[in-house]
Structure 1
């Protein structure tokens, strides 16, 4: 039960997108911006996923479910894939995706990953300027091997090590090569137990909103 206490904040990624889009709408940018969040609930029921299930994602790829607690990446994978059906050329996803990221970076840093070094640095520079601290984690091909399944295109988890990275690499499997993509794991700073920079001293912080709004402003000004 103790692990469930802060799960009220496990929807922080979607809340950030919703809040940022409210500000972005007021800006009336020239560029096209979509805010997408995949809302669902992971609960025991007669229709719940089970360990060892194999599911087919929106992309058509199949996933072997080795851990039913790694459900967020399944919905996020579909959201990222859906975004590409809208014709986007850049995607930034944000989620309280893994406890492993908090273990690796503590509660003050966002774990950042992606498929474009240039776009990844651009996003992280904005975040760090605004006090939303970001640290780039490596996409290592040896870790990617841990996502292979003999029964499906992918497993939804690797092993006990490098969990934040393998989760990010899992999402990356649903991104087309010609789309610049950044993944932000906000598991650490999304919910404050102590004071974090300019954020509230307790509860949800909204980390990522400033970065998203400023990212759109800069991309819009470059058009």
Structure 2
């Protein structure tokens, strides 16, 4: 069981409301925010209590970037926003300083759309900058290549993503079965016992097929 307690910070209610507001304001916010959350989770940079960022800081960074990007004449298009986002928070060689917002432990970002983030407690801020630099490098390389590789496969561990999806679907199916059992008057211990029996039968059937 994993629990994320917000003490002196932002909780799920804060972040959900803020994200909904930004999704209405910016067309590309939802798509880019989702990709960034998956990316930081795969790199173990998603949890504030282990020196990572957390959802709130990702939303504030993206909101800040969108404000700056659009003010400079950029388009609210997911592909353009993602590439320029990596550029803004990375440290690529020959970078244009006015297009960047370097992050360190003294940074405090504030957005016109509301929301601010203090990066003083982000112990792994250097790793985040390196991730942005690598993200920008990979996408830039992809833009100039003649291959058909997708943007997602160049940034994310797709096999891990597939396994997580299968796990989530299995949990959802189990939950639906439990709700159905409750309606039939079956207790939780009985439900767990039935689940164990079903798993044993499934394993036995699988072994039987392999031995044929």
Q: Identify the structure with the greater strand proportion.
A: 1
User: TM-score, normalization: structure 1?
Assistant: 0.27
User: TM-score, normalization: structure 2?
Assistant: 0.28
Q: Identify the structure with the greater helix proportion.
A: 2
